[in-house]
Each structure stands twice: as structure tokens, then as C-alpha cells.
């Protein structure tokens, strides 16, 4: 099993950790992990990293995402979605689709958002969702997020929206905020993650696909938006042993902080970064993915 990333389509009702365990077992990977929890209610794209690719998690979590969300107007719940207990019900006439669409689009742009209690964020080592289930509510700091676009649509008299947003955006909170702005309250009724960075649902694989062997593994280097750099054997040996290489010796014209996908004679094995000391720029190892290829 070659290390890499499987674009897994998680069905509704399955936890993200269960999805990881299933993929790990079916592929025979020694290690596996996901990059961005999907609630059991939600379905959609869940990139699962296998073996040495788990080291790429910090890069994958920074990706922008696209969701398809259902919103139920006139009702609020303690969890922010329809799986929770109803805490308020609006008795007046509900807003029209046109009113919903106009209000939803007003949330496009940079804004501050308070994470929900029903989330995987941790406080003193405990997940907020676990505290919420115990009836405990704690203060959460608002975080800066960006909603790039919202496209409302209607299906069988139900309201939906396609949302493209930055990392850290909570769609259940967005639904609640839209309901508050409309004056009737709202809760999330459906959630599908359609895109995570370069991974999209059209190219994803189900549990059945993996069982049947009809899937592919994305090489870990494909997720990095950095230029490739193949080092000559002499400098490759120095670099892999932790030594910084002056960029002049490599014929590089690069800026401090710039990162590269490092290739040796056996292929990709590391990420390198340009550092600067005493006015001299050098390429230094940032993360080794495949030490066995050095």
C-alpha cells in the first residue's frame, strides 16, 4: 500500500473516525487519519491520509471548502441542526424563498463567527460537543472567517444553499445566524461537503469502491501548491542529513519563506523552505515524509 490520500465519501450517520478505521482496514495501511471532522449528520468529501501521508494534515486543514446545506426556517435546536432538541418554534408566517435568498447572500464576505458548542474544538483537552452533551456551555471566542459565495436554491419546497468558505467556517452557525437575521430562527437540516481544496465529491470513493478495489490513491505531493525541486545527488545527500544549502549553489532565485517539493533520485520525499541568516538565503528541510527514500 503506497502512502497517499484517498478522497473518501463519508455517508451520513458515520463518524469521521469510523470512516478512517474502515479505510485503514480495507487498504491495509499501518496509519491513517483525516483532515477536518465531518459530523455524523453530514456526508461528503473526507480526505483520508494513509501511512506517511498523515504528516500532511497541517497542510490539508488550511484548504477552503464548499458545502451544500439545507436550512429549516422557524425552528432552533440546542445542537444547531435537526438532530438536536427543539428550543424554540416560530409561530408567524415564515419568510419566502426570495427573502431567505437575499438575507443569505448578505453573509458573503469576511466576518467574525462564534464556533458552536456542538463542534470538535477543544477546551482544556475536552471537545466542546462532549461538554454540550453534559449541558455545559463555555465562552467561545469569535474567529475571523470568509464566506466567498452563497448560492441559495429551492428543492421540493425546501431551502438550500451552496456555500464556499474559508477554513474554520461552521455552516450550522451560518444557518442559525441567517435565521436570526430573518427574525424566525433556523437550524441546519442537511450538510454535504462537496469540495476540500483539490478534492471534490465527483472524484470521491465510497466504502464499496474500496472493497471492490475500484479506487485510487492521490500521491501526497499532489496536495502541496509548491514548485518542484529535484536536487543533484551531492546536495540531496547534504539536504537529507539536515544541512542547509545556499540557494546560489542550487541556482535558485527564491524568497525567504518560499517552500518547495523536494525530489531525489527515488522521487518526492520532503518539503523544503527558504530560510535567511545574516543576509544569506538557504534551502532547509521543513518536513521529511519518506525518510526511506533518502
Q: Which listed residue (39, 51, 81, 177) is catalytic?
A: 39
Are the CB atoms for 1 and 27 separated by under 8 Å? yes
Is 62 an active-site residue?
no
Are the CB atoms for 214 and 119 separated by under 8 Å? no
Which residues lie closer than 8 Å to 89 by C-beta, 6 or more apart?
Answer: 74, 75, 185
Report the number of secondary-structure helices (H) and strands (E) in the chain. Answer: 8, 18
Distance separating alpha carbons of residues 129 and 144, to the nearest angstrom: 21
- Biggest CA-to-CA distance, the chain: 75
Are the CB atoms for 228 and 194 separated by under 8 Å? no
Distance separating alpha carbons of residues 105 and 37, to the nearest angstrom: 26
Catalytic residues: 39
Amino acid at each position: 500500500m503506497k502512502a497517499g490520500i484517498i478522497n473518501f465519501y463519508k455517508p451520513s450517520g458515520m463518524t469521521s473516525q469510523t470512516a478512517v478505521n474502515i479505510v485503514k482496514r480495507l487498504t491495509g495501511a499501518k496509519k491513517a487519519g483525516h483532515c477536518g471532522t465531518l459530523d455524523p449528520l453530514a456526508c461528503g468529501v473526507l480526505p483520508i491520509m494513509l501511512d506517511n501521508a498523515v504528516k500532511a494534515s497541517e497542510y490539508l486543514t488550511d484548504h477552503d471548502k464548499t458545502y451544500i446545506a439545507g436550512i429549516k426556517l422557524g425552528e432552533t435546536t440546542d445542537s444547531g441542526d435537526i438532530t438536536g432538541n427543539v428550543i424554540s418554534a416560530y409561530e408567524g408566517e415564515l419568510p419566502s424563498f426570495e427573502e431567505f435568498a437575499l438575507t443569505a447572500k448578505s453573509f458573503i464576505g469576511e466576518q467574525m463567527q462564534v464556533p458552536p458548542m456542538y463542534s470538535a474544538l477543544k477546551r482544556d483537552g475536552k471537545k466542546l460537543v462532549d461538554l454540550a452533551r453534559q449541558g455545559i456551555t463555555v465562552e467561545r471566542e469569535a474567529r475571523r472567517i470568509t464566506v466567498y459565495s452563497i448560492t441559495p436554491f429551492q428543492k421540493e419546497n425546501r431551502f438550500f444553499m451552496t456555500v464556499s468558505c474559508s477554513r474554520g467556517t461552521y455552516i450550522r452557525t451560518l444557518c442559525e445566524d441567517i435565521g436570526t437575521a430573518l427574525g424566525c430562527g433556523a437550524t441546519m437540516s442537511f450538510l454535504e461537503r462537496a469540495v476540500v481544496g483539490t478534492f471534490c465529491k465527483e472524484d470521491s470513493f465510497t466504502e464499496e469502491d474500496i472493497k471492490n478495489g475500484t479506487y485510487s490513491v492521490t500521491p501526497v505531493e499532489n496536495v502541496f501548491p509548491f514548485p518542484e525541486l529535484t536536487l543533484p545527488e551531492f546536495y540531496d545527500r547534504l539536504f537529507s542529513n539536515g544541512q542547509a544549502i545556499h540557494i546560489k549553489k542550487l541556482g535558485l532565485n527564491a524568497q525567504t519563506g518560499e517552500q518547495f517539493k523536494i525530489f531525489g533520485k527515488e522521487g518526492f520525499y520532503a518539503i523544503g523552505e527558504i530560510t535567511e541568516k545574516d543576509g544569506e538565503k538557504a534551502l532547509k528541510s521543513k518536513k521529511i515524509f519518506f525518510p526511506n527514500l533518502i
